[in-house]
Amino acid sequence: MYTNLIRCKALLTVQYLKVAAGIRLHSSLRVYALYGSLFICCLACFPSLLQAQAPVLFFKEISKDVVSPVAITSAGDGTGRLFIGEAGGAIQIYKNGSILAKPFLNIAAGFPDQIISAIAFHPAYSKNRKFFVYTYDVLHTTITIRSFLASNKNPDSAILSSGKVVYTKTSTSPKSNHTMGDIHFGNDGFLYISVGDGSPINGLNNLAQNGQSVFGKMLRIDINNPNPPYYKIPADNPFVADSTVLDEIWSIGLRNAWRWSFDRKKGDSGLLTLARIVLKKLTSRQLANPKALISDGLAMKATLHSTQQAASQKTAIHFLFLLTHMIVLGKML
């Protein structure tokens, strides 16, 4: 659109200058002619402007054969399969237009008290068959990330016994809640983990601002470690030299960021947080540096609506989107 506009402007300007040179128009007439040319150019390009509007999204039901689906992702292996995580513990495969009869994995068979929150496939999954599952227990106190291997004989089946605990933490908050989270790999190969603040539904515990707690944080770890504890701390994590903050923490001040994703081109990260909260606007300084979040208290401040206030509102639970930039290794992801 902008290229067409520039071309139109250039062509009309050249034509105008040729005419002006031949008949030697007065300087004021030249200005009017140039403005007229630009106006005509804008009118010519106006249809392109109308076409550059936001796309319209449509939703289509593809299956009724899933129960409480909470996560959906691709393995990135070129097979076109979709992996759908059910809260109850099963990971289903959507393949060739339908859900396969047998689950890819059912963690409930080995970990009956775990609820699935997120799934992420290793960037080299097609070679190492490794993927990761974020779960939390039924008491909402402990979050766990386990690695599993897909079968080398049947790509539509994973091996439950291959499960290894890569990372786990337990909340110290009484009546803990909001322990859902999400996991994604960055272009740097590290695993990013968002963890809810573990606070009760109608109260805040301020764990999001406690540097010795992973709850209410974004974490960043290197999972390419074959030996226990199966992860390492990236050397350029922002708090590795700060004894008051855990080394795996990438940014501080989340409420319950249970869904987010990377924009691979721009490097932005959009987070969806579910709670009765109001989010404080992030400054450009905060967006440019994840470590800066700690210096502003609750940079993503959760201001609790009282139960009475919530009851007086038409909607007690707000879905809020927050755009934040995450810079890794000096460049946008």
Instruction: Return the domain boundaries, the chain.
Output: 2-51, 69-261
Considering the chain, what is the average pLDDT of its residues?
73
- The answer to whether 195 and 177 have CB atoms below 8 angstroms apart is no
Task: Summarize pLDDT for 321-332 with one digit per residue, the tens.
Answer: 333 333 232 232
**DSSP labels for 38-49?**
HHHHHHHHHHHH
Cα 4 to chain centroid, rounded: 35
Decide: pTM greater than 0.75: no
Does the pLDDT at position 43 exceed 60?
A: no
Helix-then-strand count for the chain, H and E = 5, 18
Give me the pLDDT at residue 289, please.
55
For residue 16, the one-letter residue type is Y
Give me the pLDDT at residue 33, please.
45
Provide, rounded to the nearest whole percent, the portion of the chain with pLDDT above 90.
47
Give me the pLDDT at residue 47, please.
52
- The answer to whether 186 and 268 have CB atoms below 8 angstroms apart is no
Q: In whole angstroms, what is the distance from residue 317 CA to residue 217 CA? A: 21
Task: Summarize pLDDT for 171-185 with one digit per residue, the tens.
Answer: 887 777 888 999 999
Please give the helix or strand (H or E) that residue 326 lies within, else none.
none
What is the architecture of the domain spanning 69-261? 6 Propeller (2.120)
Give me the pLDDT at residue 257, please.
82
Distances (CA, A) of 122 to 13, 125, 167, 223: 55, 5, 15, 9
- The answer to whether 204 and 216 have CB atoms below 8 angstroms apart is no
Give me the pLDDT at residue 184, please.
94
Strands in 249-252's sheet, in edge-to-edge order, are 181-185, 191-195, 217-221, 249-252
Does the pLDDT at position 9 exceed 60?
A: no
The whole-number average pLDDT for the span 197-209 is 77
Neighbouring residues of 196: CB distance < 8 A, sequence distance ≥ 6: 177, 178, 179, 180, 181, 215, 216, 254, 255, 256, 257, 258
Task: Summarize pLDDT for 57-95 with one digit per residue, the tens.
Answer: 888 898 999 999 999 999 999 999 999 999 999 999 999
More confident site: 114 or 276? 114
Classify the phi-psi angles of 288: left when phi > 0, otherwise alpha if psi is within -120 to 50, otherwise beta.
alpha
Give me the pLDDT at residue 7, please.
43
Give me the pLDDT at residue 173, please.
79
Task: Summarize pLDDT for 119-171 with one digit per residue, the tens.
Answer: 999 999 999 999 999 999 998 899 999 999 999 999 999 999 999 999 999 98
For residue 208, the one-letter residue type is A
Give me the pLDDT at residue 168, please.
97
Report the range out of 34-48, 151-165, 311-325 with the highest average pLDDT.
151-165
Does the pLDDT at position 313 exceed 90?
A: no
Question: Virtual CA dihedral for 252, 253, 258, 260, nearest 10 degrees?
Answer: -70
The pair phi, psi for residue 204, each rounded to 5°, is -110, 140
Q: Give the ranges where the chain is alpha helix by DSSP (H).
A: 2-23, 27-51, 125-128, 284-288, 307-312
End-to-end Cα distance, the chain: 27
Task: Summarize pLDDT for 184-193 with one digit per residue, the tens.
Answer: 998 889 999 9
Question: For 7-16, 49-58, 317-326, which range has the lowest pLDDT when averaged over its residues?
Answer: 317-326
Does the pLDDT at position 306 exceed 70?
A: no
Q: How many CB atoms lie within 10 A of CB 273?
A: 24
